[in-house]
Amino acid sequence: MQKDFKAIAESQVTISELMLPSHSNFNGKIHGGYVLSLLDQIAFACASKHSGVYCVTASVDTVDFLNPIEIGELVTMKASVNFVGKSSMLIGIRVEAENIQTGEVKHCNSSYFTMVAKDSDGNSVKVPGLILKTKDDIRRFAKSIKRYDNKKVRSREFHETDFVSEEHLYIVETYNVKIEQ
């Protein structure tokens, strides 16, 4: 039987993995695409743990690469449900890399994945609400509301088609672009 509400701690997931040469790019750093794959996996695990059902990635709202990850570092990813809607969940993920020889830890990445709970027929299903216990829980939830509202604005602006010529002049003066019609 599914709970109506769950504490955030009930769904948190932590994964650690040693970074190997096979995960690196041509510059000798861990490839961003590999990190994105790991982020998607932990977002899935966290969302599925919270909802109790299969979940899919609806969007990746933000991925901030802050510091490069080196071969041989131990990467730890921590995922948490920051916000829930009817069938969607915003999963916050923090990535840290540890030099296992020196013990130095650096924050490498923060990201936010929107996941949607699905039934076996692919229909969206209701997810449990969140029990907010700490000031950090409340802060993350409130920031997620703001993120959600900003996402709606971005989506609406992206689909606008009524640009005026004054905007074109601004684009040419401000950005490295030339308009030829």
Q: What is the pLDDT along the chain (181 residues), one digit of tens a residue?
A: 678 999 999 999 999 999 999 999 999 999 999 999 999 999 999 999 999 999 999 999 889 999 999 999 999 999 999 999 999 999 999 999 999 999 999 999 999 999 999 999 999 999 999 999 999 999 999 999 998 888 888 888 777 766 555 666 777 778 887 777 7
Cα–Cα nearest to 20, from 12, 8, 31: 31
Decide if 17 contacts 34 (C-beta within 8 A).
Answer: no
pLDDT number for residue 161: 67
CA distances from 142 to 56, 134, 135, 139, 146 (A): 23, 12, 10, 5, 7
Angle at the Cα of 50 (from 46 to 53), degrees rounded to 5?
Answer: 95
pTM of the model: 0.86
Q: How far is the C-alpha of 92 from the C-alpha of 109, rounded, in Å?
A: 11
Element (H, E) at 11: none
pLDDT number for residue 139: 95
Q: How far is the C-alpha of 81 from the C-alpha of 49, rounded, in Å?
A: 10
Decide if 108 contacts 34 (C-beta within 8 A).
Answer: no
Please report, for the chain, the start and end positions of each structural domain, with discontinuous segments joined by +. Answer: 5-134
pLDDT number for residue 154: 82
Cα–Cα nearest to 49, from 120, 128, 139, 110: 128
CA distances from 117 to 138, 140, 143 (A): 23, 21, 22
CATH architecture of 5-134: Roll (3.10)
